[in-house]
């Protein structure tokens, strides 16, 4: 595992390079010389968090909270086809 340290300025200048570095290990991003953030690949994050399950599996857990969800009606999004 490779650890990379970048200043905020270097991170902003080369975000794609930071993402590539995160494939090899964590990327520590510093503000004024002090660690402020860590960039991880999604696989490394899931290993760390212990959450390697799908959204459906997460929602199907017995202790999952009930969430009231009322999606807005899709009015005005569709119109009749002009076949003439």
Q: At 27, is the secondary structure helix, strand, or coil?
A: strand
Residue with tokens 């290990």: 25
pTM (predicted TM-score): 0.59
* Tens of pLDDT, residues 37-67: 999 998 888 778 776 677 777 777 777 677 7
* Tens of pLDDT, residues 7-43: 999 999 999 999 999 999 999 999 999 999 999 998 8
Structural domains of the chain ordered from first start: 1-40 (3.40.1620)
């Amino acid at each position: 595992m490779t650890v990379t340290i970048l200043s905020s300025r270097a991170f902003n200048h080369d975000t794609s390079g930071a993402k590539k570095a995160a494939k090899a290990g964590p990327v520590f991003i510093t503000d004024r010389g002090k660690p402020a953030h860590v960039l991880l690949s999604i696989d490394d994050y899931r290993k760390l968090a212990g959450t390697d399950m799908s959204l459906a599996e997460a929602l199907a857990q017995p202790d999952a909270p009930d969430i009231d969800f009322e999606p807005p009606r899709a009015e005005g999004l569709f119109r009749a086809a002009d076949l003439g």
